[in-house]
Homo-oligomer: A and B are copies of this chain.
Amino acid sequence: MAEQLRERVDTALREFLTPALSPLRDIGEELSTVADALAQFVLSGGKRLRPAFCYWAARAAGHEDSDALVRAAASLELLQGSALVHDDVIDHSDTRRGRPAVHRRFADLHRAAGWSGEAEDFGTAAAILIGDLLLSWSDAMLASSGIDDAALGRSRPISDLMRLELMAGQYLDIVEQASNGDTVDGALRVARFKAAKYTIERPMHLGAALSGSSPDVFTAFTGFGLPVGEAFQLRDDLLGVFGDPAVTGKPAGDDLRHGKRTVLVALALERADAADQQTLRRLVGRPDLSDDDVGRLRHIVVHSGVAAIVETMISDRVQAALSALEAVALDQAGRDALVELATAATQRSD
């Protein structure tokens, strides 16, 4: 079921992008390079989590299956593409989905062409522009999805709020990072905006808006979406430290090298003994961490009991989410799919 929706989302994205990219290709050869990079980036994977939560929330709220609904849900993937391309610039990330990040790809193009100026600056500029185009297209794809004007009108305020919360979450993230924020509360606040609201709650609200749902459905989706989103982010924190590079597509211990201010690290700083705290402060955020260093940090996270605590936080949240969903009458197939998605999102290994 999940696999089938995923294919429909991919098809919708391909069918939107092909004509959308064509005027870009017409402008000139240089822009064909941009079009290729953009299409490859959007079409080469990703979990398609946001479209799935949006689609199944709509179905659970009584919306019938339609290609228009799939297209409306798939438009979230363009917003997410924009966020990832810009985020990779902001975080100086080299890779995304196991390939060079977009800004790296264009920096490489600059180098290969032997152009003048800084290759990195060129890469950053190209990635900013590509992210902008994806952001515009997420709106365009929703508007042209084939959902009716009334549904489009209802979806607007949710869609706007989602963009605002995404941007706010990213800003809070860079402030936490810059100010060396190391509290659990600070990290949870970032997780709430970047993951819980943007990844789960708002996509579900979009689905509810498309279905013309009553307020109690929105409330139930909040009660389900926020804890699932936090659990999703907590799983991400664990994978950022313990994940298998072959599965995640990111180097081992990537979050530790980038000094990402996660709930996991904040908890470790809170609970580790004095010597381990010192090690954490010394090593987290060093780009040149050796595999041994990563191993040492992993040991601290396990030894302090924090890995187990985070696992408990995840399962508590999933439990709370499932209860919240019981509070409202929903279509059974839709409800089952949402439960399945919540499990997959919080128990994944990639």
Residues of A at the B interface (CB closer than 8 Å) are 20, 23-24, 27-28, 30-31, 34, 82, 86, 89-90, 92, 110, 113, 115-117, 121-122, 124-126, 128-133, 135-137, 139-140, 143-144, 149, 156, 160-161, 163-165, 167-168, 170-172, 174-175, 177-180, 189, 193
Contacts and interface: CB of A to CB of B under 8 A. Distances in A.
A2 to B, nearest CB: 29
Given A167-B129, A180-B116, A172 B30 contact: yes
Contact of A133 (B117, B122, B124, B167): B167
B175 A27 contact: no
Chain A at the B interface: SS class: helix
Contact of A135 (B20, B135, B143): B135
Contacts of A171: 30-31, 34, 126, 129
A322 to B, nearest CB: 28
B140 A160 contact: yes
B133 A24 contact: no
Contacts of A193: 27
14 contacts: A30-B172, A82-B132, A86-B129, A90-B125, A90-B128, A92-B121, A113-B179, A115-B179, A116-B179, A129-B170, A132-B132, A136-B164, A137-B160, A144-B156
A156 B128 contact: no
A279 B237 CA distance: 56
A29 to B, nearest CB: 10
A126 to B, nearest CB: 7
Contacts of A179: 113, 115-116
A137 B34 CA distance: 25
